[in-house]
Chains A and B, each alone.
Chain A
Amino acid sequence: MILKTKQLSKSFGGLKAINKVDFELPKNEIRGIIGPNGSGKSTFFNLVSGIYDSDPGSYIEFDGHDITFAPPHEIATYGLSRTFQLLRLYQDMTVIDNVMSGYHTRVPYKFFDAVIGRKKIWDQERAIKEEMMELLSFVGLADYAELNASELSGGQRRLLVLARAIAMKPKLLMLDEPAAGLSPVNVDNLMKIIMQLKEKYGLTLIIIEHILKVVMDTCNSVTVFDHGQKIAEGTPAQVKDDNAVIEAYLGKKMDDEEMRKALAV
């Protein structure tokens, strides 16, 4: 198990955004998380990556480390990387700087070496830059390396955020709606790149996605959230036929034919 949560809870005032979620994720799995808006998917990500503090009684374990109370930067050093729903691109930095800043946890030299400006620093910086340029050409942004991130198109931004998250060579990559706002062609392209990256770096993936086709096609297993609770878990086929899921999404039970129609958007 690379990620494990027990009785994970988070409330904002009286609202229970996440309510006693037990979640287990084996290595090398692609897990999809689906659920209606406001069901707690993004909150779950924020809790795991340490951006929110979880309520008392919760327990989160990542790769053998207890990260319940760890700050986000410490969790990142254990090898957990994530993207954000609203991208959070470094707008005023160049594309290559964006990606290189994702490399932070792997920077090999110490601060004082950098102050003195020793030769080995510049050698290592060049090596980092080369590696990151390779990553950029892998996702197809090498030509734009020196431009500001704010000058990229929507689709390119999604790719850049992905590259930035990969730069730290994470063990677990959490993608928050990676394909939101993309055209169907671009979605296919993005998913292809994500799958290639998974193979290349041996990642474990968690993907939040509203495009059900993507989830059903690529994920090994799916977890469904509703009102802060885990209402179903299993293979895509199992989840598809789960009554609780259908109710959460469509409001009432339907027979098979109707449901298939509605899901095959």
Chain B
Amino acid sequence: MEKFKSIIRDYPFIAFIIAFIILAFVPSVVFTDVYQSHLATLIFVNIVVAAGLNIVKGYCGQVTVGHVGLFAVGSYTAGTLFLYLGLGFWATLPIAIIVTAFFGVAMGIPSFRLEGPYLALATLGGGEAIRLFIENGNFFRSTFGISDIPTPSLMGYNFDSPDRYYFISMTIMIIAVYFSFSILRSGVGRAFMSIREDPICAAAAGINVKKYKILAFILSAMFAGAAGAVYAHMPPGYIHPNNYTVIEMVTFLAMVVLGGLGHIWGGIIGAIVITIVYDLTRPLYKYQLLIFGLTIVLTILFMPKGLGGFIDRYFLEKRFKKKTGTEKTT
């Protein structure tokens, strides 16, 4: 066991390969109908977005409310590339990631001067502007949406149904989570955190604050772009501006907050819980926003570090007690 642990520690990707294998058997063993595969794909897409949002909001502390705009950029890059050039998934995915990265730079520039609620307002404007631009542009098929975006195929095998597309979304999710883990566990993640805590002190400690802020925005934009492309190519193959409103943004925020801002698992836990709750409460769609708004408020009041922080705390207190023999209750 010890040896296994040390191997995982040196080569973390082995853990991800194991996770991949386990997840690959889930549809055939656990799922009873196609809808569950579809839900799983949605969870994976949300995990990718939330993992990215956790980098910029949870770790770097930049309050962005325009992330759904970047998600839309990813989707519509994929959609329009198919519409006008007939490109398939394997071409649109990398292009969508790159294009969204550029939009991430634009979204991040206000963070040089603004912070807190002011930055939130600026990015909210950015996100809404992107949606309105799409909604009112004939180039993007305005309110009709883009339909029949093809599912990817690989070596003659077409991932054309939800239970097949599951494998695509899962693979992208695993890769994205792997990248987010290795970034956040390295010195880069620490630099992000110091900027969140105190930008002036971070600068005095040798961290180039502007560079790292933009880097956080670019990284999270790339995650959102990848998620957007995966979302666009999802089996019905239909995207519409209404899928990228402030409501979606609130759900993304709820995921990161509930999972734990600045916790490495934060976005992932939150995305799983919130997507399932979102699906279960579909009959109560009138009250969904209320539910997620309440979730954010209550989490911040009673569990400021989210589920992830809550679990961490439990183990930490146990270890501290064992080490020093004293109780630490704060």
Name A's B-contacting residues (CB within 8 A). 49-51, 71-73, 76-77, 81-82, 84, 88-93, 97, 100-105, 107, 109, 111, 114-117, 119, 121-123, 125, 128, 143, 146-147, 151, 164, 168
Q: How far does the Cβ of B111 sit from chain A's closest Cβ, in whole Å?
A: 16
Decide yes or no whether B193 CB sits under 8 A from chain A: yes
Q: How far does the Cβ of A100 sit from chain B's closest Cβ, in whole Å?
A: 6
Report if A76-B182 is in contact (Cβ < 8 Å); known contacts: A90-B193, A114-B188, A146-B320.
Answer: no
Decide yes or no whether B32 CB sits under 8 A from chain A: no
Which of B22-30, B203-211, B251-259, B284-292 contacts its partner? B203-211
The reply to whether B323 and A49 contact each other, CB–CB distance below 8 Å, is: no
Decide yes or no whether B13 CB sits under 8 A from chain A: yes
Decide yes or no whether B310 CB sits under 8 A from chain A: no
The reply to whether A72 and B203 contact each other, CB–CB distance below 8 Å, is: yes
Decide yes or no whether B308 CB sits under 8 A from chain A: no
10 nearest A-B residue pairs (beta carbon): A117-B182, A76-B206, A114-B186, A105-B206, A90-B197, A88-B201, A72-B203, A107-B187, A101-B194, A73-B208
The reply to whether B197 and A73 contact each other, CB–CB distance below 8 Å, is: no
When distances are taken between beta carbons in the complex, the residues of chain B under 8 Å from A125 are 185-187
Smallest CB gap from A161: residue in B: B201
The reply to whether A104 and B201 contact each other, CB–CB distance below 8 Å, is: no
Q: How far does the Cβ of A98 sit from chain B's closest Cβ, in whole Å?
A: 8
When distances are taken between beta carbons in the complex, the residues of chain B under 8 Å from A77 are 206
Docked pose: A132 CA to B205 CA in angstroms = 15
Docked pose: A122 CA to B186 CA in angstroms = 8
Name B's A-contacting residues (CB within 8 A). 9-13, 178-179, 181-183, 185-188, 190-191, 193-194, 196-198, 200-209, 215, 262, 316, 319-320, 323-324, 328, 330
Smallest CB gap from A105: residue in B: B206
The reply to whether B197 and A164 contact each other, CB–CB distance below 8 Å, is: no
The reply to whether A97 and B207 contact each other, CB–CB distance below 8 Å, is: no
The reply to whether A76 and B205 contact each other, CB–CB distance below 8 Å, is: yes
The reply to whether B186 and A88 contact each other, CB–CB distance below 8 Å, is: no
30 pairs of residues in contact across A and B, judged by CB atoms under 8 Å: A49-B204, A51-B203, A72-B203, A72-B204, A73-B203, A73-B205, A73-B208, A76-B203, A76-B206, A81-B204, A82-B204, A84-B201, A88-B198, A90-B194, A91-B197, A92-B193, A97-B190, A101-B191, A103-B187, A104-B206, A107-B187, A111-B215, A114-B186, A115-B182, A117-B179, A125-B187, A128-B187, A143-B323, A151-B330, A168-B206
The reply to whether B201 and A90 contact each other, CB–CB distance below 8 Å, is: yes
Report if A121-B182 is in contact (Cβ < 8 Å); known contacts: A88-B198, A105-B206, A168-B205.
Answer: yes
Docked pose: A147 CA to B324 CA in angstroms = 12
